Amino acid sequence: MTERLPTFADVEAAAVRLRGEAVVTPVLRSVDLDRRVGGTVLLKAEPLQRTGSFKFRGAFNRLVQLSPAERKTGVVAWSSGNHAQGVAAAAALLDIPAVIVMPADAPALKLAKTRALGAEVVTFDRVTEDREVIARRIAAERGATVVPSYDDPHIIAGQGTLGLELMAQARAMGLRVDDIIAPASGGGLLAGIGIAARVSNPGVKLFSAEPAGYDDHRRSLAAGERQRNASTANALCDALLAVTPGALTWALNEQALTGGYTVSDAEVKAAMVFAFEDLKVVVEPGGAVALAAVLAGHHAAAGRTVAVVLSGGNVDAGTFAACVGS
């Protein structure tokens, strides 16, 4: 690990850069959900963020700090879809050429949206090829800047603005958050939220939520060191398929996490149905895992104020229909 760890000051600086660019997404409430769990649940609705997920926050914070020379040579990123769109959107706003390395089996919507934002898309086979190797080769050939999806201090700080907003919104509602549950893949969102929330709301507890088979954060926390997932094959929660927690993100999350939850595909689908029917929000499978942990009773919410991050809503219509109709 050669990069420095981001700080609360970095998150505050990111919030200034993102002002007027990122959406201050709403915090939703559900009387039925509160009654069901016996507590107060605050739902941060990042499907309503620019490009449909929290990823725009980190991407813009990283790209806006590039030098004029770096902007001219462009950026290269790898992503299954949400970081891809975040980088593509930020690059378009800042007039920066962007190449995104994406799995050939990524949701068609994410591939199409990334291309529509003006980025060049290079596809790969996620089972037989290494996306990072491909991206770094392209960057070397073009003299471009690599923009990682999570293991970068500027990316983490940008994602942390979600936590900063969330704590301020809770205070405005007259509430103090006891617990935060957020989806985890590489861990950038968790790390950023942890930095912001632990300073602005001391004593808050942070929990990861992950799909079964890809629960490397939960297992890493139990083992006291980073663990790897056995598979990188496509799964329902396509946004949460990182092989292992990042080096930077884990250095932060191993200190910040209180625990982690693993949810099944059936529990994810139930959360998507709830969000659609009760909240009137479309949430993609990977974006619904934290809500799934609460709805399935994995997290003891009774008598507590629990903030749940709905991290994204980029899902193909066919997949969504299959999930909410099953």
Q: What's the CATH code of the domain at 64? A: 3.40.50.1100
Is 138 domain-assigned? yes
Is 109 domain-assigned? yes
Coil, strand or helix at 277: helix
Domain boundary among 102, 131, 146: 146
pLDDT of residue 297: 97
Which residues, including other chains, have CB under 8 Å from residue 136's CB and lie 6 or more apart? 76, 146
Domain boundary among 94, 118, 146: 146
pLDDT of residue 41: 98
Burial category of 172 from C-beta neighbours within 10 Å (exposed 0-12, middle 13-18, buried 19 and up)? exposed
pLDDT of residue 232: 67
**Which two three-digit tokens encode residue 186?**
């590489």
What residues make up the domain containing 185?
8-53+152-325
Cα separation, 251 vs 265, in Å, equals: 29
Domain boundary among 105, 131, 146: 146
Is 15 domain-assigned? yes
Is 3 domain-assigned? no
Q: 79 or 169, which is more confident?
A: 169
Cα separation, 290 vs 308, in Å, equals: 6
Phi/psi-derived region of residue 81, left when phi > 0, alpha when psi is between -120 and 50, beta in every other case:
left
> Which whole-number Å values give the CA distances from 293 to 147, 157, 290, in the listed order?
31, 26, 5
pLDDT of residue 278: 97
- In the predicted model, what is the mean pLDDT of residues 111-132? 92
For residues 69 and 172, membership in a common domain is answered with: no
pLDDT of residue 147: 97
For residues 165 and 213, membership in a common domain is answered with: yes
